[in-house]
Structure 1
């Protein structure tokens, strides 16, 4: 049986599991494509407009579709074969890349047309992400989900290291080459998605009502493990967003140049990549709830160390530790959400989770900028790290069920604690 295989052998067996190999390859392709889009579009917008505000609008153009479409995207991911959703979205993303390719090749690249392409990518990604994440438990055996999550995370981390550099090199050679690579990568993702052969149970057909639309949020609210897991990520990342201030640290505190900034930006991804491969070979079997809290605490401590460091090697080391700790938390939290959610709800729950993660990243950068303006750059990062540790200790007390999770594989939607909603009549009669 797979459950009794030695851990390294069990991890390696995923590389011979064809549906997972196809899934992993499609994540590499789409992650690389998104990274190249970010670099190429950023360069092109600034080259055309010369405006930093225009650069900020690129991020807004990606975030707004996610904000508007997340709830219906989650509902649809629970109604239709998720592979069909993914293929359609990848076709739409390839079409956006083709639009950028044609306009660049013909020399007609007005800013509004670039924003249209960015909105197309953001809208497609809003539907693709919940469907993709929700598909993984159907691709691998339950006992391999933690390892599969770690290996999938390694794909994303690899793309975050190589993607910006690849996008920069291609754009330097020719903007047309960069946009052509985007189209090719999304095309390869379509092929990989088509190669995922799994048994697909017919989805529950539910009408698009407000109750069904918000069912994911309601489900999370009645499950302390899910509520604690998702809000821990939201608050910890919100407070620990030191990435936005890296340019200031590189130039004014560590006194290094652009190469040093590149090193700082790559360091968390390097730590995350190494740790994700370690987890894939040696998965966490017991006391995973406490390990998750320990990882978030280490994330906060590494943030403080980075804020106080005046040495480039020490700062890089702190960011490597930060990335490694973050991926431990990400793998456990991702697996907890998958194991604690029934399949017919995974699309909606993962959509809400992705919205919270996206919001925490965006708002975390905003929070770092505001606190740096109010208190200074170093105090802002240190305060954020301390806040992450405080949140960790507070959440351990508020969500003991999450803290006491021992084995991920033993967690099911049926055996987790629930919060019973108070009946409306009782709530109305309750004394105030």
Structure 2
């Protein structure tokens, strides 16, 4: 008899060269992206004095992300994912550099900024599914929850640091935030050059029509019960939380809360998100996938109506921080399960579908919140949004599909990829 070969332990994430390069490069890239997100409207206002032009430029980023969303997933599944990520970083660096030159020479124009914003939005829509679909090839299956959580922490820290720094950089010079963005995307491009991803087989039968392949991804999402339920619940939650957030801001200002307190209140969402992302691996292990998902729904449903009773911005900020601490663990559970259940040739379309659905709900939420704040007293509008979040919590709690996650956790089984 021959002894069985020992099972090799996966390389820890701290020593996984490919993952560290990807994570570090994107930490820089996201910092630059969020610094320019603050600088963009400031630049438009400084050059034109037009709020409408500022809204046009900022709206272009979101519009480009939405329009590119579904096709992005198809392209990520069809072509080399590393090449797509490199192309996105190169395009953003070139676009930011063109704006640096234009601002420096006094030739900046609104149409130019709209083009740059479109490049930023489309690149973000392409890069996210490419990165998510590449994660299972970079890390072991059992490390995927931690890798997803660390990516969530990176995004929260990039948003918090970039947003806080962007205004300061703009005060130094109007072109400075865009110069910093050029440098960060260039460094990320260089880091990506050294990330090794296994070569993927081209889809059997060649590439089909873009629309047909996008619809195939949507059909996959709809046919998978756990994925379908989590997407629907997340859409409802994002819609009502985005509406709730705007209503709370409107109510706070109507109650005379100083603008400084409102700013601190909003910033606490970022603080809570960072803390939640850093503790997400532990929360995920202790609560299990089902517990982590259900916890975020009930945390928002229970904490949101409390804001009706609070008149000061600082306590509301604490409530915001508590709300923001739970989503990273739920995101870890959802993305881990879905990436492992989805065949590699569909992972790009899976991520793009999730981003598009939740992004559309997040974009529609402020419109809903503005209408509610206009039609109802502030307290009632908050309670109505809370009721919507509670509905999503009930649906997630009683869902038989999501309960299978709890049974898998109790028996110690990891989700397995679909055949």
TM-score by length of 1: 0.88
1:125 Cα offset (Å): 1.9
How big is each residue's C-alpha offset from its partner over 1:115-163, in whole Å with a ceiling of 9 and x where there is no partner?
Answer: 1111121122222221122111211111011011111111111112111
1:244 Cα offset (Å): 3.0
Moved more, 31-40 or 179-188: 31-40
Secondary structure at the aligned position of 2:12 is classed as helix
Structure 2 vs 1, CA of residues 333 and 193 (structure 1 numbering), >3 Å: closer, same or farther? same
Q: Distance in 2 between matches of 1:230 and 1:3?
A: 36
How big is each residue's C-alpha offset from its partner over 1:334-388, in whole Å with a ceiling of 9 and x where there is no partner?
Answer: 2222122111100111111111121121111221111111113333233212211
Structure 1: tracts of 5 or more residues without a match:
416-432
Equivalent residue for 1:257, pick from 253, 256, 259: 259
Residue in structure 2 matched with residue 158 of structure 1 by the alignment: 157
Q: Distance in 2 between matches of 1:80 and 1:34?
A: 25
Q: What is the alpha-carbon root mean square deviation over aligned residues?
A: 2.4
Structure 2 vs 1, CA of residues 84 and 209 (structure 1 numbering), >3 Å: closer, same or farther? closer
Structure 2: tracts of 5 or more residues without a match:
none
Q: Distance in 2 between matches of 1:339 and 1:70?
A: 21
Residue 110 (structure 1) aligned with residue 114 (structure 2): no
Q: Distance in 2 between matches of 1:295 and 1:344?
A: 30
TM-score by length of 2: 0.91
Residue in structure 2 matched with residue 364 of structure 1 by the alignment: 365
Residue in structure 1 matched with residue 58 of structure 2 by the alignment: 59
Q: Distance in 2 between matches of 1:53 and 1:101?
A: 23
Residue in structure 2 matched with residue 231 of structure 1 by the alignment: 232
How big is each residue's C-alpha offset from its partner over 1:171-201, in whole Å with a ceiling of 9 and x where there is no partner?
Answer: 0111121110010011111112222123233
Residue in structure 1 matched with residue 74 of structure 2 by the alignment: 75
1:234 Cα offset (Å): 0.9
Residue 344 (structure 1) aligned with residue 348 (structure 2): no
Residue in structure 1 matched with residue 44 of structure 2 by the alignment: 45
1:286 Cα offset (Å): 6.1
1:304 Cα offset (Å): 1.9
Q: Distance in 2 between matches of 1:152 and 1:269?
A: 15
How big is each residue's C-alpha offset from its partner over 1:306-327, in whole Å with a ceiling of 9 and x where there is no partner?
Answer: 3432233321211011100222
Q: Distance in 1 between matches of 2:155 and 2:230?
A: 21
Q: Distance in 1 between matches of 2:301 and 2:313?
A: 19
Residue 410 (structure 1) aligned with residue 414 (structure 2): yes
Q: Distance in 1 between matches of 2:169 and 2:6?
A: 43
Residue in structure 1 matched with residue 15 of structure 2 by the alignment: 16
1:281 Cα offset (Å): 4.9
Structure 2 vs 1, CA of residues 43 and 396 (structure 1 numbering), >3 Å: closer, same or farther? same
1:249 Cα offset (Å): 4.4
Residue in structure 1 matched with residue 380 of structure 2 by the alignment: 379
Residue in structure 2 matched with residue 194 of structure 1 by the alignment: 193
Q: Is the 8 A contact 2:18 2:196 kept in 1?
A: yes
Moved more, 128-137 or 402-411: 402-411
Residue in structure 2 matched with residue 427 of structure 1 by the alignment: none
Q: Distance in 1 between matches of 2:6 and 2:299?
A: 32
1:166 Cα offset (Å): 1.0
Question: Number of residues paired by the alignment?
Answer: 408
Q: Distance in 2 between matches of 1:315 and 1:216?
A: 40
Moved more, 377-386 or 314-323: 377-386
Structure 2 vs 1, CA of residues 276 and 135 (structure 1 numbering), >3 Å: closer, same or farther? same
Residue in structure 2 matched with residue 429 of structure 1 by the alignment: none
Q: Is the 8 A contact 2:268 2:320 kept in 1?
A: yes
Q: Is the 8 A contact 1:244 1:368 kept in 2?
A: yes
Secondary structure at the aligned position of 2:177 is classed as helix
Structure 2 vs 1, CA of residues 126 and 149 (structure 1 numbering), >3 Å: closer, same or farther? same
1:219 Cα offset (Å): 0.2
Q: Distance in 2 between matches of 1:377 and 1:100?
A: 42
Q: Distance in 1 between matches of 2:251 and 2:134?
A: 40
Q: Is the 8 A contact 2:237 2:389 kept in 1?
A: yes
Residue 26 (structure 1) aligned with residue 30 (structure 2): no
Q: Distance in 1 between matches of 2:325 and 2:108?
A: 40
Q: Distance in 2 between matches of 1:309 and 1:282?
A: 29
Residue 144 (structure 1) aligned with residue 150 (structure 2): no
Q: Distance in 1 between matches of 2:390 and 2:19?
A: 36
Q: Is the 8 A contact 2:276 2:327 kept in 1?
A: no
Residue in structure 2 matched with residue 173 of structure 1 by the alignment: 172
